[in-house]
Structure 1
Amino acid sequence: MSPERIELDEPSQAVLREARKLLRSKERKDAGEFLVEGRQAVREALKAPGVVKWLFVRWASVHDNLDLIDLA
């Protein structure tokens, strides 16, 4: 049995740059945005409509996070 094929969009360099900026406190304050890490925190954020702008998942962990991808 072959694994289910999953197709996800690759983030653009501009999106990655914008996300990386949020690693700095000043950028988070200026943008009014923040990064969320960890399955539980991400799950809670995804439950709130309009809160999550992007969901980044490493390719190696896609199958382990299908429930979060489905919520997004």
Structure 2
Amino acid sequence: MINLLSLLLSSLLWVQVPQWSADWSKCSVDVPDASCHWYITAPDNTFGEGFDWASAPWFDANGLSDVPSIDKQTAIQKLQSK
């Protein structure tokens, strides 16, 4: 049961990480874009400040539905070419 719960939690917690090689003039922070960001599981790092469930933000797995497939053009470039 614990393994199933661990699998469920690890599949729901994701963090958006910028890619170093992306041209940031064509990227948007507001638009989930796989051309500009990697999506990795959220690390459990509190940077020395401690962790408190009462003040921790909640993640919504439904947000992953907005992430497009990886493409050479960013979401902004696709919108500008229309």
Q: TM-score, normalised by structure 2?
A: 0.23
The structure whose Rg is larger is: 2
Greater share of strand: 2
TM-score (norm 1): 0.24
Bigger proportion of residues as helix: 1
**Greater relative CO (CA pairs within 8 A, separation 6+):** 2
